[in-house]
């Protein structure tokens, strides 16, 4: 049985390229951590993650087809978030049902756009 504790790395939803996953898998990477951040394109766009919702589904499908697992990362309290966008985010997380999910509160780092 393959170890679920083998290597992992971060990847961006929009950065998965043909042939990349098979190379990562061959190198011992079994987990990819994705910064999904939000379910709303408006919220994602405001934090420089401007990709279409369908890309999330495609990316996760590619990863699972490659025999790898997904760690999904979500951030609550982004500047464009409201009650509905945060509920949508939770609904997306439940729908995607990734093997692991991290839920973070927004933190505005000094000198960042969000901080200003």
Its pTM surpasses 0.85: no
Question: How far is Cα 77 from Cα 44, in angstroms, rounded to an integer?
Answer: 12
Cα 82–Cα 49–Cα 12 angle in degrees, nearest 5: 125
| Domain locations along the chain | 7-73+87-105
Q: What is the pLDDT of residues 32-79, one digit of tens each?
A: 999 888 887 777 766 656 667 899 999 999 999 999 999 999 989 888
Helix axes of 53-65 and 83-96: crossing angle, nearest 10 degrees: 20
Q: What is the pLDDT of residues 69-89, one digit of tens each?
A: 999 999 898 888 899 999 999
- For residues 93-102, average pLDDT: 96
């Amino acid at each position: 049985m393959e170890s679920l504790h083998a290597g992992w790395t971060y990847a961006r939803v929009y950065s998965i390229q043909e042939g990349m996953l098979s190379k990562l898998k061959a190198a011992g990477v079994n987990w990819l951590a994705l910064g999904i951040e939000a379910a709303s394109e408006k919220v994602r766009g405001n934090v420089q993650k401007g990709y279409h919702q369908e890309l999330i589904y495609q990316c996760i499908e590619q990863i699972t087809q490659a025999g790898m697992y997904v760690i999904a990362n979500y951030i609550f309290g982004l500047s464009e978030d409201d009650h509905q966008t945060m509920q949508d985010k939770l609904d997306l997380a439940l729908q995607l049902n990734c093997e692991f999910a991290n839920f973070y509160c927004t933190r505005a780092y000094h000198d960042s756009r969000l901080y200003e």
